[in-house]
Amino acid sequence: MLGMVFTEFIELVEEKFSPEVADEVITAAAPANQGAYTAVGYYPHDDMVAMVGALSERTGVPAADLLQVFGAHLLKRFTEIHAPMFAAYPTYFELVAAIDQHIHVEVRKLYDQAVLPRFTVLSRTDDGIDLFYDSPRRMEMLAVGLLEAAARHYGESVRISHAEAQSPDGRAGVLFTIRRQ
Amino acid sequence: MNLPPPSTPPAGADAAAALALLQRRFERERTSRKAAEALLNEKSRALYDSAQAAREAERRLQLALWASGEGIWSWDVPTDSFSVDGLDVMGQTLRLGPCPMAELQDMVEPIDRDSVRLAFGLYLNQAAADIDTAFRGRLNGAQRWLRIRGRALTRDDAGRPTHVTGTIKDVTEQRAAEQSLHMMAQAFGSTHDALVIIDASDTIVQANAPFAMLLERPLVELEGGNLATVLGLEAPLATRGTWRGDIGLGEGYQLRHIEVAVTPVSAVAHGGGAACSIVALRDVSERRRAEDALHRQAYVDGLTGLVNRLSVMRLLDERCGGGSSRLFALLYIDLDGFKAVNDTLGHHAGDALLRDVSRRLRHVASAGCIGRLGGDEFVVVLPTGTDADEAAEFADLVIQSVSRPYRIDGQVVVVTPSIGIAVHPQHGGTPEDLLLNADIAMYAAKQLGRRRFVTFHADLDSGRQRRQHLQQLLRTDSDRDAFTFVAQSQFDATGRPIGGELLIRWQTAAFGAVSPAEFIPLAEQIGVIDRIGRQAMRTAAQVASIAQFMGLDTTLAVNLSPRQLLQDDVEAALLEACELARVPPARLCVELTESALVTDAQRVGDLLRRLAERGFVLALDDFGTGYSSLSHLRELPFHKVKVDRSFVRDLGGDPRARVMLDGIVKLCTSLGLAVVAEGVETRAQFEQLVGMGVTQFQGYWFARPQPLATWIESVAQGQVPADTLMSASAARVAA
């Protein structure tokens, strides 16, 4: 998993809770590098699962909610770091449709070892889009947070629902149904 | 959703805990910074390596393009900007554009413009997977074949190419080579010669139909096989380099001679690897047979299969070469009586006899080299080490073997060999001397009575010298008409002279009187027989003229040799002689032997008929020894038949000779021919002959040959009581 996800997560915990909570979460999760993450490195996905679990336990907030918040935080960071990219997609739906074919292609140019989820566009209209999410890590709530925050960035009011599903070619994953409201 | 507010630091937390937290955070930050630096270094190195690799790849691409003579072209479709770089044309690197595509198309020869447009059009409309076309273009003023290949580098959303790039290459030489290869392939397939392409391990890569025909096996069975094995060769072919040789294919009578030429070809590579060889095969059996036949013609006697004179000379050259003193002997063999067989039974029988003699010689002389020098002359070159004694033993064997009777065309024939032996080096150091001396010895054997051998010795050479000398004398004496003539009378049963035979005499200062039996064959050999013959004709005519003048009832016979009878002017010469002497042809009797009829019976027959019409009397001489053809007696206009003197000689002792003679006389008499008996030497013979019905006689018992004047006188005396005419005629002859 990209180091940036870890550094942003720790920053988020420090910001939203406190440096002490962040320290406790790290200590509790006991990652191999003792929490010394750098944005340009790659780290085990299990570290993130452990830290989210530790935070949830410490705060009493369900992990899914934590991930959704984290998704929103990440998107905000993306808009700051990759503003030209967002500028290239004039509408929310265009951005969402382009995640797999364009955005992730650009990500790979920077992080060639990145393991990225796949977002397959199943259908698209002027007011909605159906996406099939497919990731070995199953962090669909992180994706929900990202998608909701992106909609807010574009000023779109959307309803996002998700459900377990199978892709047309038989892969197990999650179907995101996004509709303008 | 909102997160719960950050927990406040525990009140009263001691500063130590806060400090510990800060220290942990600081430690994390420092560790992560170092990790980031390490990652950065790693990324930098990777970036550098990647840039280096890219530069290397670029350099390799450029090198590959340069090596292949290819240039790069690039076409940006939306801006219609076309450019070419690095195109190598005849050693010059060209750069074209950037320019609109249309300008490039102007460079294309009109004949190929449509096809180039089509290739690009199909590609732009995604009907073709790539661009790959060849066309003729005009570059630097010369027409060149160019091949252009390319693919899209980028495409628009609809998948249409927006930037196309690829390679361009001058393929003029390649196309020429392809065409040449195509022609070669056609030649390979259509030539009548068997051609095979083999790889370095003799494997047949490709072969043409004539090769399959040559080996009488299907092509599919041969391809992939090993050529050396297919041809039954032990040593491989491909490793011989350029090689030419002959091999035998098949066995026994099916053996064929195959000429094989191997040519290594580096240009034709098989499977992109090892060099190949082209192997051409040609069946030269026919040619070899023809060569063998020529060789046989040159060195072998066609009739007998023995070696010929040329081969014998080569062998002798080899044996005598370099003044060698190697001992060996040779036999020079001549068949006695062969001519008679030829004359009486014909050439076919003569040839058969020669073949039979050859077989017997082979049988007894398997160790020697037997050759036929020509005619009935053979030579046997005995093995090295054979001395005169061994040669003599050997000659005895030959005589025993060759003298046994032969059965030719159902008839029993006997010939005997006369053999001359010469030994190297004592009888001659050169092939010519050896053969000459063996020939001289053979001649001596004949002189000594035939059916024998004579080993050469120096005295024999004098016989040869005598013959040479006589030949010289003959030349000069025939020019001078230096021969003299005598006549021997012929009588009827009452003892009355009825005619005579003109006989030639030759008196030489060096050798005294030389017998016609010796000098007539020599005169025939050196071609002076015609002149001598004319002298005889003229003399006979003159003598006959005198006899006529004297009122004698007589004819005078003159002998014509076979050679004379074949002369164009023999008839004219006879008539001229009669005319000069003013004597009718009926006063002359022309005598000839049957051998004259063998060479050209038709021509001689025609001549005899004309002579008979002119009035000449015709007599067949020596009847009963040679041909003795009854058809000659029946068909040709002979008036007389002279039976051979051997019959008369054998009358007393050989009852069979008497029976035969009796038969001949009866036959001739019944055919209306007068029979003349020659060589009558005793009264007993005369009486016996009279008893048989012979009507004319010639021989010593009656009269010896006499000078011409004496002869006329004797005839006159026999016919007419002595009167004054006698002296008058004598006076005329003397004049």
Q: What is the ipTM of this complex?
A: 0.75
Q: Do B35 and A65 touch (CB under 8 A)?
A: no
**CB B6, CB A17: distance < 8 Å:** yes
pLDDT bucket at B70, cuts 50 / 70 / 90: confident
Predicted confidence (pLDDT) at residue B695 exceeds the cutoff of 50? yes
Phi-psi region of B279 (alpha: psi -120 to 50; beta: other; left: phi over 0): beta
- In B365-430, which ranges are continuous DSSP H helix? 388-403
The predicted structure's pLDDT at residue B10? 54
Average pLDDT over residues B650-672: 86
Report the alpha-carbon distance of residue B648 to residue B681 in Å, rounded.
Answer: 9
Half-sphere exposure of B103 (CA within 13 A, CB side): 11
Sign, CA torsion B532/B536/B539/B541:
negative
Q: Do A16 and B6 touch (CB under 8 A)?
A: yes
Q: Do A37 and B39 touch (CB under 8 A)?
A: no
Predicted confidence (pLDDT) at residue B272 exceeds the cutoff of 50? no
For residue B152, the distance in angstroms to the closest alpha carbon of chain A comes to 20
Report the alpha-carbon distance of residue B259 to residue B284 in Å, rounded.
Answer: 6
Phi-psi region of B537 (alpha: psi -120 to 50; beta: other; left: phi over 0): alpha
Helix (H, G, I), strand (E, B) or coil at B306: coil
Report the alpha-carbon distance of residue B282 to residue B211 in Å, rounded.
Answer: 9
Tens of pLDDT along B149-179?
998 888 887 788 889 999 898 888 888 887 8
Cα dist from B414 to A85, B417, B443, B451, B658, whole Å: 132, 10, 20, 11, 22
Predicted confidence (pLDDT) at residue B643 exceeds the cutoff of 70? yes
Size of interface A-B (CB pairs under 8 A): 61
CA torsion A18-A23-A29-A30 (nearest 10°) is 170
The predicted structure's pLDDT at residue B618? 95
Q: Find, among B646, B683, B645, B689, the residue nearest to B665 by Cα.
A: B689
The predicted structure's pLDDT at residue B230? 87
- Token pair in block for residue B101: 């595509």
The predicted structure's pLDDT at residue B8? 55
Q: Which residues, 6 or more positions from B378, have their beta carbon under 8 angstroms from its beta carbon?
A: B306, B331, B332, B333, B334, B357, B358, B361, B370, B371, B372
pLDDT bucket at B44, cuts 50 / 70 / 90: confident
Chain A residue numbers touching B29 (CB-CB < 8 A): 36
Tens of pLDDT along A115-148?
888 888 888 888 899 999 988 777 889 999 999 9
Report the alpha-carbon distance of residue B444 to residue B441 in Å, rounded.
Answer: 5
Q: Find, among A7, A19, A35, A14, the residue nearest to B18 by Cα.
A: A19
Half-sphere exposure of B389 (CA within 13 A, CB side): 0
Predicted confidence (pLDDT) at residue B497 exceeds the cutoff of 50? yes
Predicted confidence (pLDDT) at residue B596 exceeds the cutoff of 60? yes
The predicted structure's pLDDT at residue B626? 64
Average pLDDT, chain A: 89
Nearest CA in chain A to B27: A36
* Residue B52 one-letter amino acid: Q
For residue A178, the distance in angstroms to the closest alpha carbon of chain B comes to 19
Predicted confidence (pLDDT) at residue B39 exceeds the cutoff of 90? no
Tens of pLDDT along A141-175?
999 999 999 999 999 999 999 998 887 778 888 99
Tens of pLDDT along A32-52?
988 899 988 889 999 999 999
Chain A residue numbers touching B32 (CB-CB < 8 A): 7, 33, 36-38
Which is higher by pLDDT, A1 or B545? B545
Tens of pLDDT along B279-314?
999 888 888 888 888 887 888 898 999 999 989 999
Q: Do B1 and A65 touch (CB under 8 A)?
A: yes
Q: Which residues, 6 or more positions from B572, have their beta carbon under 8 angstroms from its beta carbon?
A: none
B8: DSSP letter: P
Report the alpha-carbon distance of residue B572 to residue B545 in Å, rounded.
Answer: 18
- Token pair in block for residue A76: 């905000």
Question: pLDDT above 70 covers what percent of chain A?
Answer: 100
Q: Is A59 on the interface with B (CB under 8 A)?
A: yes
Of A38, A60, A69, Cβ closest to residue B32: A38
Residue B33's H or E segment, with its range, is helix B15-68
**CB B504, CB B518: distance < 8 Å:** no
Predicted confidence (pLDDT) at residue B344 exceeds the cutoff of 80? no
Tens of pLDDT along B386-425?
999 999 999 999 999 999 999 988 888 888 999 999 999 8
In angstroms, the first-to-last Cα distance of chain B is: 184
- Token pair in block for residue B669: 């008499």
The predicted structure's pLDDT at residue B726? 43
The predicted structure's pLDDT at residue A28? 93
Of B25, B35, B43, Cβ closest to residue A19: B25
The predicted structure's pLDDT at residue B214? 87
Mutate to test the interface with A, among B25, B44, B50 (most CBs of A within 10 A): B25
Predicted confidence (pLDDT) at residue B94 exceeds the cutoff of 90? no
Number of neighbouring beta carbons within 10 Å of residue A105: 11
The predicted structure's pLDDT at residue B5? 56
Average pLDDT over residues B691-719: 90
Average pLDDT, chain B: 85
- Token pair in block for residue B98: 């950037």
For residue A71, the distance in angstroms to the closest alpha carbon of chain B comes to 12
Q: Find, among B664, B708, B709, B711, the residue nearest to B689 by Cα.
A: B664
The predicted structure's pLDDT at residue B12? 58
Buried/exposed B307-340: b ≥16 CB within 10 Å, e otherwise? bbbebbbebbeebbeeeeeebbbbbbbbbbebbb
Q: Is B44 on the interface with A (CB under 8 A)?
A: no
pLDDT bucket at B333, cuts 50 / 70 / 90: very high
- Phi first, then psi: give them for residue B494, nearest 5 degrees: -90, -5
Average pLDDT over residues B457-469: 81
pTM score: 0.40
Cα dist from B238 to B199, B249, B262, whole Å: 7, 19, 7
Report the alpha-carbon distance of residue A17 to residue A19 in Å, rounded.
Answer: 7
**CB B413, CB B421: distance < 8 Å:** no
Mutate to test the interface with A, among B32, B39, B50 (most CBs of A within 10 A): B32
Q: Is B496 on the interface with A (CB under 8 A)?
A: no
Tens of pLDDT along B172-206?
888 888 787 788 788 887 888 888 988 888 889 88
Predicted confidence (pLDDT) at residue B731 exceeds the cutoff of 50? no
Q: Do B1 and A36 touch (CB under 8 A)?
A: no
